[in-house]
Chains A and B, each alone.
Chain A
Amino acid sequence: MDKLSFENHIASRYDEELEQIFSQLMAMGGKVEQQVQLAVKAILDSDSNIAERVIQGDKDVDRMEIRIDEDCVLVIARRQPTASDLRLVISVTRAVADLERIGDEAEKIAKHALELIEHGPLMSGYTVVSQLGVSVTAMLHNALDAFARFDADAAMRTIDEDKQVDQEYKAALSELDTLMASEPALLKQYLNLVWIVRSLERIGDHAKNLCEQIVFVAKGKDIRHQ
């Protein structure tokens, strides 16, 4: 896909600037993916150390966002990117915002995990979280993978996965509903789980947004809200 390489600018520093922005985006993606995995692990293992690590880690995510955004502003000011370069820089600024929001959701999950641990873990309800966690982390992974290769087809396939995630989310909510009705005394804990599955579903939505940006970069088409 040579059309989307950063290379061959007559100003070779420009190649480096774009390369730099993109590799930072990939690093941020990797960090955020890890945050989500750890947050899910913190609930399933009732591990408060991991939950704390996720909460701490979100500060790194925020720093990465600001750094990448600054670099995008600079490259726009310096180079006035056009065509594929312009689409790349714009998509990075949008993707960074989604990654940051995913980071926030991971942090929320971690906070709910801590509350759950404090209240005393539940006996049931984890299966739905685990299942949704697997689907959402896979979706996020696929989105980042497609971004790394500007693979619009893979992005479209990943967008489709969001339907599955939404179904699993609905199923999880109704399952948690039933559990809450049968064990009203554990309402607080179950509400933690409700918030957690809600965050996972939101992460799926953000992963979908990332995929839309891949299509924008590769094809020049804005497929948001379609």
Chain B
Amino acid sequence: MPDMKVNEKHVTVGKQFHDDPRMTMRNVNVFYGEKQAIHDVSIDIGKNEVMAMIGPSGCGKSTFLRSLNRMNDTVEGCRVEGEICMDGESLYNTKLDVVELRARVGMVFQKPNPFPKSIYENVAYGAKIHGLADSRIDLDEIVENSLNKAGLWKEVKDRLHQPGTGLSGGQQQRLCIARAIAVTPEVILMDEPCSALDPIATARIEELIKELSENFTIAIVTHSMQQAARVSDRTAYFHLGQLIEVNPTEQVFTMPEHELTEGYITGRFG
């Protein structure tokens, strides 16, 4: 049995690296002022892989996820150390255009947050500012394609110019996914994307995640063990800011390597 204690020099158990990585993170530390929220995390996310990140509330999942597209830059007092690369290129390179980065590494949040604009504009907006469309026809095509991939096209094609905020919660979340896809990202980060949705809307999003993984790399934070088990290829377990274990999802849910993982996923006291 690997050491149970969470200590400074702990070693992540399992398979944290990947043969064909899209993103590589090495010795990542994240601080909020004096307080360290992420301790020395190293992990790869493979191309077309769905990586689930699980762990108790406050263990740093969102913090880590946000450092993957520099969303932490916007958080007062937040400092990120270590190496975070996409396709071998450091994301914390000072010359890097952060707006462009956020298009390449898109994000979907817990609460659907469509802009107070039409459904069409919600999806078209990013494509427009990133200059992905030369004409109205191009833009129409991007909007239709993205809504299609997000599984929303049929439901909204006759009301494209009505406000996005008028959709149901599940539809809004798929709209946000369409918005993220529209700028052809390489990676999509999702932070508890289904926590505000009912089982049917959740099933739709999960189905969508599986389909999207054919074209994108996905990292998803979830509090639902079953969701992680259903959608992901590998699962990463975080505990008090440390990465305890990364393993193929089927292994994590049947025979986890670390006792802390076992305790968490079986619902036992830590």
Contacts and interface: CB of A to CB of B under 8 A. Distances in A.
A61 B121 CA distance: 67
Interface residues of B, number: 16
Interface stretch (B42-50, B63-71, B130-138, B262-270): B262-270
Contacts of B266: 9, 81-85
Contacts of A85: 266
A9 B267 contact: yes
Contacts of B268: 8-10
Interface string B246-270: 0000000111100101110111110
The winner among A8, A14, A82, A220 for most chain B CB atoms within 10 A is: A82
A115 B253 CA distance: 52
B125 to A, nearest CB: 40
B253 A83 contact: yes
A225 interface: no
Nearest to B253: A82
Given A10-B269, A11-B267, A80-B226, A220 B255 contact: yes
A131 B225 CA distance: 51
A3 B261 CA distance: 12
Nearest to B262: A83
Contacts of A3: 259, 262
A141 to B, nearest CB: 29
B267 A10 contact: yes
Interface string A1-19: 0010000111100100000
A128 interface: no
Interface in B106-164: none
Interface in A84-135: 84-87
B163 to A, nearest CB: 38
A14 B267 contact: yes
Interface in B215-270: 225-226, 229, 253-256, 259, 261-263, 265-269
A220 B225 contact: no
A81 B265 CA distance: 9
Nearest to B257: A220
B253 A8 contact: no
Given A80-B225, A80-B226, A87 B254 contact: yes
Contacts of A87: 254-255
Nearest to B224: A80
Nearest to B226: A80
Interface string B154-192: 000000000000000000000000000000000000000
Nearest to B265: A82
Interface in A24-64: none
Contact of B253 (A10, A14, A79, A86): A86
B255 A83 contact: yes
Contacts of A11: 267
B196 to A, nearest CB: 21
Contacts of A14: 267
Contacts of B229: 82
Nearest to A80: B226
A122 to B, nearest CB: 51
A127 B255 CA distance: 46
Contacts of A81: 266
Closest 9 CB pairs of A and B: A220-B255, A8-B268, A82-B265, A82-B253, A85-B266, A8-B269, A83-B262, A83-B266, A10-B267
Interface of A: 3, 8-11, 14, 79-87, 220
Given A10-B268, A82-B265, 17 more contacts: A3-B259, A8-B263, A9-B266, A9-B268, A10-B269, A80-B225, A81-B266, A82-B225, A82-B266, A83-B253, A83-B254, A84-B262, A84-B266, A86-B253, A87-B255, A220-B254, A220-B255
Interface of B: 225-226, 229, 253-256, 259, 261-263, 265-269
25 contacts: A3-B262, A8-B269, A9-B266, A10-B267, A10-B268, A11-B267, A79-B267, A80-B225, A81-B266, A82-B225, A82-B229, A82-B253, A82-B254, A82-B265, A82-B266, A83-B253, A83-B256, A83-B265, A83-B266, A84-B262, A85-B266, A86-B253, A86-B254, A87-B255, A220-B254
